[in-house]
């Protein structure tokens, strides 16, 4: 377990979790997840504080397994009396589930947790005045630089920390904490009767690491570059995908590699283990231990150590991700991939995804395509991707590529393919590797046989 203290006394969470766990009856497995967090958000508008929001939240989740049946109950408080009632509710809920031989809690597996410091002491020294000044600064960072930028839809600074303890009758007893802060801004750019919204965000473990000026410039660029965008003609062509778009798509791909989905027949890659599912050079790694990633974790949601999992290795599907129950179902071991909050049972997911870079610079990606499209933003991911059939169709904004160079901006268009074809259709992988604010490390790439729908 981590001993990265920094948020004051942590023993009360662990104490509460231990006390409730000790109430397990004979033959019962009990796991208690106790968490608390505090967050502050300052929104700026027209040079003033539009809103200042602060809150402390608490959460308690109790999972109980008896006779192969699992029940769960949660509460938005750490009140000890409520905690006892929550255990009783979990017990009642378990009695209503049907037995499942694979259900159950995690068993400590001896994997050593990474030594990560996820809470920077500087975060705790932030004053409210500083928070306000960061919030005002990020709005200021987009004003007065381009005559077309008339104001913002939103400009905000947020910071927060959280801590969590997990204790179980199976020997799990861990505690960890973490914190981060972020600035974001969405400026409005107006030209005639056309308005475009830009957006940029930066996140870090301490405020000094936030690059507010860069956020401002990026947000402005993203707003003004879309001015005059036109609806393109429908065509099948090669697309260069911006690294943010690649990150969105690869997150979805990684989601389909959940062992839970695989064992329930809900993944398009279920039967493909050790087979080639992508082009040579495509490697996807989920590494929750990466200290550079804001989404790194010391433990997973069942208290097991996070680890480095190579999902796709040079185009070959190398493994699926598992939490304890899905691992038992597949007769394998947990990969430390349980994700959860206090209020829900663990699911299987990615901690921090990396797409390994290739050797083509961005400009060469574009010139190599010749005639095609550069996709900068996608929307409608939740409605346009079917992660079971693999069908993918999303709204896009970007630029046409003509004569090997970026040309006119486009809007009101979609691109479509399938997840399966996407991975095999990758033409070149960019060398422009970047850690995105969400934690994903991504690169741009060009992909063949993409259907662009417009007029």
Of residues 320-379, those binding another protein (CB under 8 A): 343, 345, 379
Segment near another protein (CB under 8 A), from 10-18, 163-171, 251-259, 446-454? 446-454
| Site map 372..411 versus another protein, x via CB under 8 A | -------xx-xxx-x-xxxx-xxx---------------x
Question: Strands (DSSP E) along 231-345, which ranges?
Answer: 235-241, 284-287, 308-313, 316-317, 338-339
Closer to another protein by Cβ: residue 40 or 367: 40
Does residue 258 bind another protein (CB under 8 A)? no
Closer to another protein by Cβ: residue 125 or 389: 389
Does residue 414 bind another protein (CB under 8 A)? yes
Q: Residue count at the site for another protein (CB under 8 A)? A: 80
Phi, psi of 98, deg, nearest 5: -95, 150
Segment near another protein (CB under 8 A), from 91-99, 241-249, 304-312, 330-338? 91-99
| Nearest distance in Å: CB 101, another protein | 11
| Nearest distance in Å: CB 251, another protein | 17
Question: Contacting another protein (CB under 8 A), which of 18, 124, 145, 153?
Answer: 153
Does residue 146 bind another protein (CB under 8 A)? no
Distance separating the N- and C-terminal Cα atoms of the chain: 57
Task: Please name which of 197, 121, 232, 150 lies closest in space to residue 455, comparing C-alpha atoms.
Answer: 232
Question: Contacting another protein (CB under 8 A), which of 3, 26, 27, 56?
Answer: 56
Closer to another protein by Cβ: residue 112 or 455: 455
Task: Please name which of 238, 216, 336, 348 lies closest in space to residue 288, comparing C-alpha atoms.
Answer: 336
Closer to another protein by Cβ: residue 289 or 326: 326
Question: Contacting another protein (CB under 8 A), which of 24, 94, 241, 284?
Answer: 94
Does residue 236 bind another protein (CB under 8 A)? yes
Question: Residues 99 to 118: which contact another protein by CB under 8 A?
Answer: 99-100, 103
In whole angstroms, what is the distance from residue 201 CA to residue 191 CA? 24
Angle, helix 212-224 to helix 128-140, in steps of 10 degrees: 30
Does residue 121 bind another protein (CB under 8 A)? no
In whole angstroms, what is the distance from residue 33 CA to residue 175 CA? 10
> What tokens appear for 266 in the block?
């809900």
Question: Residues 417 to 436: which contact another protein by CB under 8 A?
Answer: 417
Task: Please name which of 332, 307, 335 lies closest in space to residue 321, comparing C-alpha atoms.
Answer: 335
Does residue 221 bind another protein (CB under 8 A)? no
Does residue 190 bind another protein (CB under 8 A)? yes
| Nearest distance in Å: CB 308, another protein | 30
Residue that the structure tokens 């003609």 belong to: 233
Does residue 194 bind another protein (CB under 8 A)? yes
| Nearest distance in Å: CB 287, another protein | 27
Consecutive H or E run containing 91: helix 80-96
Does residue 52 bind another protein (CB under 8 A)? yes
Question: Contacting another protein (CB under 8 A), which of 2, 14, 70, 238?
Answer: 70
| Nearest distance in Å: CB 250, another protein | 19
> What tokens appear for 211 in the block?
């690059």
Closer to another protein by Cβ: residue 150 or 169: 150
In whole angstroms, what is the distance from residue 162 CA to residue 119 CA? 9
Contact 364, 441 (CB under 8 A): no
Q: Are strands 372-379 and 235-241 parallel, antiparallel or unpaired?
A: parallel
Burial 269-293 (b: 16+ CB within 10 A, else e): bbeeeeeebbbeebbbbbbbbbeeb
Q: 198 CB contacts (<8 Å, ≥6 apart)?
A: 142, 186, 187, 189, 218, 219, 220, 221, 222, 223, 224, 226
Question: Residues 170 to 189: which contact another protein by CB under 8 A?
Answer: 188
In whole angstroms, what is the distance from residue 198 CA to residue 373 CA? 20
Does residue 145 bind another protein (CB under 8 A)? no
Question: Contacting another protein (CB under 8 A), which of 16, 20, 35, 75?
Answer: 75
Does residue 82 bind another protein (CB under 8 A)? yes
Consecutive H or E run containing 220: helix 212-224
Contact 147, 170 (CB under 8 A): no
């Amino acid at each position: 377990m981590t001993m990265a203290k920094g948020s004051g006394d942590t023993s009360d969470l662990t104490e509460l979790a231990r006390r409730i766990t000790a109430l397990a009856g004979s033959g019962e497995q009990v796991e208690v997840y106790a968490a608390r967090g505090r967050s502050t958000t300052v929104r700026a508008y027209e040079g003033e504080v539009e809103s200042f929001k602060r809150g402390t939240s608490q959460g308690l989740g109790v999972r109980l397994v008896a006779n192969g049946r699992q029940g769960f109950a949660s509460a938005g408080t750490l009140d000890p009396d409520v905690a006892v009632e929550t255990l009783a509710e979990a017990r009642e809920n378990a009695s209503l589930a049907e037995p499942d031989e694979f259900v159950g809690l995690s068993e400590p597996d001896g994997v050593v947790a990474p030594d990560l410091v996820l809470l920077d002491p500087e975060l705790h020294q932030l004053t409210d005045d500083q928070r306000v000044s960061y919030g005002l600064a990020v709005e200021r960072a987009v004003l007065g630089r381009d005559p077309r930028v008339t104001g913002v839809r939103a400009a905000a600074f947020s910071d927060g920390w959280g801590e969590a303890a997990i204790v179980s009758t199976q020997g799990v007893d861990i505690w960890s904490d973490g914190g981060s802060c972020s600035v974001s801004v969405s400026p409005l750019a107006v030209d005639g009767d056309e308005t475009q919204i830009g957006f940029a965000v930066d996140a870090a473990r301490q405020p000094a690491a936030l690059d507010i000026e860069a956020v401002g410039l990026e947000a402005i660029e993203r707003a003004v570059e879309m001015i005059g965008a036109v609806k393109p003609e429908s065509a099948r062509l090669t697309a260069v995908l911006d690294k943010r778009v690649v990150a969105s798509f690869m997150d979805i791909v990684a989601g389909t590699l959940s062992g839970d989905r695989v064992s329930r027949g809900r993944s398009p890659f279920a039967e493909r283990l050790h087979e080639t599912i992508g082009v040579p050079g495509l490697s996807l790694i989920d590494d929750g231990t990466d200290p550079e990633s804001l989404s790194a974790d010391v433990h997973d949601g069942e208290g097991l150590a996070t680890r480095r999992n190579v999902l796709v290795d040079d185009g070959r599907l190398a493994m699926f991700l598992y939490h304890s129950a899905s691992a038992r179902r597949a007769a394998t071991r947990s990969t430390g991939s349980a994700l959860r909050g206090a209020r829900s049972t663990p699911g299987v997911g990615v901690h921090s995804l990396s797409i390994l870079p290739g050797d083509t610079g961005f400009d060469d990606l574009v010139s190599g395509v010749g005639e095609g499209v550069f996709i900068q933003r996608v929307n409608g991911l939740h409605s346009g991707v079917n992660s079971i059939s693999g069908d993918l169709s999303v709204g896009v904004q970007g630029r046409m590529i003509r004569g090997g160079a970026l040309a006119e901006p486009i809007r009101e268009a979609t691109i479509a393919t399938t997840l399966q074809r996407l991975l095999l259709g990758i033409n070149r992988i960019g060398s422009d590797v970047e850690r995105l604010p969400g934690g994903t490390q991504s690169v741009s790439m060009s992909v063949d046989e993409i259907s662009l729908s417009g007029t």
